[in-house]
Amino acid sequence: MKELKELLYGVSIEAVQGSTAVQVNQVNTDSRNVEYQDLFIAVEGVVFDGHQFIEKAIENGASSIICEHIPNSLSDNSKVTFIRVNDSRKTYGIIASNFFDKPSSAFKVVAITGTNGKTSVSSMLFTLFQKLGHTCGLVSTIDIRVGTEVLNTTHTTPDAMQLQKVFLQMKSKGVTYCFMEASSHGIHQSRLSGIDVDGAVFTNLTQDHLDYHKTFSQYRDAKKTLFDQLASSAFALTNLDDKNGLYMLQNSKAATHTYGLKNHADVKIHILEQQFSGTLLRIENHEIWVKLVGEFNAYNLAAVYGVAVELGADKEEVLKELSLIEPVKGRFEFITSSNGIKAVIDYAHTPDAIENVLTTIKTLKNRDNRVITLMGCGGNRDQSKRPLMGKIAATLSDDVFFTSDNPRDEDPKEIIEQIISGVRTSDRHKYDIVIDRKEAIQRAVKIAQPGDVILIAGKGHETYQEIKGEKQHFDDLEITKNEFAKLN
C-alpha cells in the first residue's frame, strides 16, 4: 500500500483535480479484465487508447486516474482524482519504480541496444560476471534470469510494471549487476522510465521494425533516446565502425567510450584466424582463442570486454573467461552430421544479420562445398526488408529454400512472394519454395553433401511457430538433429 503522492515522486504533473492523499493498493493500465483497481493510468497504445477505458475503470472502482487529457463527461466527478500529465507512458514507468521502492537503484544496470547483437552481448555479460563471482540479472529475448533462476519472457523489454517486479526480485536476491536488452519499441514506449541505467551499449543499426517506426531516422532516434537520458555518472559505449555509432553519443551526459575492428577505438579488436570451432582474436595487446566465430561476434566480444573494463573487472580475468564462453543459444549454433554436413542455426532476421552470417559461412567453408540457406520472414512485421533478405540469401547461397517463419496473421505464401521479389534474375534458378518449414529442413538435408553448410535462419532459439494466433511447438535445432540422425 502506498500514498498516491509517494507514487508521483519525480512525475511532471500538469494539473490535479481532487486529492492526492489516497491509498493505492494496485496500479493498472488495462481496465478491460480487471474487477477492481485503485489507480488507473490511461496509456495510448499501438492498438488501444487507454483513455477510452477511463469510464469503465471508474466503474470498476478506480479512485484515481492518471491521463493526458480528462474526458469532459467525467471532469465533474467529485469522487475521483484526476491527474493530468504530459506523458502517461513515462509516468507509468516512474510510478512502477516508486511502487516497488526503486529497486534498480540497488544494483548497476547496463542496457544494450542496436539492431543485432543485443541478446549475445547481454547474455555473454551475464555469463561473464557470474563467472567472475557476482550475482547477476539478465533481461533478454531468450529469457529473464535472476541469478540461477530462469523466468519466462515474451518481449525483449517487458512492460514497466513487470520489469520493476523483476528488479524487486533481483534486489531481494542480492543482484549486483543487471544486463538488459533495450529494444527500440521498449525505449520509444518509455518502458525503461524509472530505471537507474548506469551504462548503455550501442551495437549497430540496420533496417528493421519500420512497420512500427515508419522511417529509419525515427528508428535510429528511438535508440538514441537511451543515450540522451543517461546521467553524467553513467557510461556510454558505442560501435565506432557503425556509421551511427558516434551519432548515439551526441548530447549524452555520460562518459563516452568506443569499440571497433576497423577504426581507432578505445577498445580495438583484431581477427587473426577463424574456423568453425572458434576464432583467434587480439584484444588490445592480448591474443585469445574464443569459441565464437564471425566478425559480428568479434564486435560482440569487444562490447562485452569494454563494458567489463568500465565496470572495473580485472582485464586478465575477463580475457580468461571470454576464452571459455559458449555461443549463445540460436546464435551461429552449429552441429555436424556423421557424414560431415554442417548446419548453422541462427536468429538472423534482418538483411544485415543474414548477410553477416552467410559471409562468415562462406569464409569458413571449403571452396568446393555449397551453402544451402533456408529462410522466411515473420508476419505482421516490417515488409520492406523482405525483398532485401531474399536478394541477399540468393546472392550469397548456392541453393535456397524460401519457407515459413512465424507467419502470424499473414498468408505464408504472400510473405514468400514478397521475399522472392527481391531475388535477381540471375539467381532465380537457385531457389525453391517450400512453405512447410519442417519439409524445407528435410529437403535441405536431403540435397546436402558432406562438407556442405546448411544455414537455417530466422528463428534461432525459438521453440515455436506462430500461425493465426496459435503457437505450435517447432524447434529448428531439434528437427535438424532428427534429420541428421536419419543419415547414419
Residues 277, 311 within the same domain: yes
Are 476 and 373 contained in the same domain? Answer: yes
Among the candidates 56, 78, 98, a domain finishes at 98
In a domain, 328, yes or no: no
428-461 confidence digits (pLDDT tens):
999 999 999 999 999 999 999 999 999 999 999 9
Task: Work out the number of other CB atoms within 10 angstroms of the CB of residue 105.
Answer: 14
Between CA 427 and CA 125 the distance in angstroms is 40
Q: How many CB atoms lie within 10 A of CB 246?
A: 15
Each residue of 97-120: pLDDT tens digit?
999 999 999 999 999 999 899 999
Q: Which positions ≥6 away from 59 have C-beta within 8 Å?
A: none
Determine which helix (DSSP H) or strand (DSSP E) holds 32, and give its type and residue range: none
Residue 162's nearest CA partner among 241, 120, 103 is: 103
Q: Encode the chain (488 residues) as per-residue pLDDT tens digits.
A: 788 999 999 999 998 888 887 778 888 777 655 555 689 999 987 678 889 999 888 888 888 999 999 888 776 777 889 999 999 999 999 999 999 999 999 999 999 999 899 999 999 999 999 999 999 999 998 889 999 999 866 555 578 888 999 999 999 999 999 999 998 888 888 889 999 999 999 999 985 545 554 688 888 988 999 999 999 999 999 999 999 999 999 999 999 999 999 999 999 999 999 999 999 999 988 999 999 999 999 999 999 999 999 999 999 999 999 999 999 899 999 999 999 999 999 999 999 999 999 999 999 999 999 999 999 999 998 899 999 999 999 999 999 999 999 999 999 999 999 999 999 999 999 999 999 999 999 999 999 999 999 999 999 999 999 999 899 999 999 999 999 999 97
Which residue in the block uniquely carries the three cell numbers 569487444? 302
- Looking at 322, 356, 390, the residue that finishes a domain is 322
Cα separation, 438 vs 185, in Å, equals: 31
β 235-239/149-151 pair status = unpaired
Q: Do 130 and 205 have their domain in common?
A: yes
- Indicate the residue among 98, 113, 136 that finishes a domain: 98
CB contact set of 240 (below 8 Å; sequence gap of 6+): 246, 258, 259, 260, 263, 264, 265
Task: Calculate Rg over the CA atoms of the chain.
Answer: 24
pTM, 2 dp: 0.88
Q: Residue 397: is it exposed, middle or buried by C-beta count within 10 angstroms (0-12/13-18/19+)?
A: buried
Q: Are residues 294 and 391 in the same domain?
A: no
What CATH number is given to the structural domain containing 338? 3.90.190.20
User: What domain range includes position 82?
Assistant: 2-98
CA 386 remoteness from chain centre: 20
Taken in order 199, 203, 205, 211, the sign of the CA dihedral is negative
Residue 327 inside a domain? The answer is no
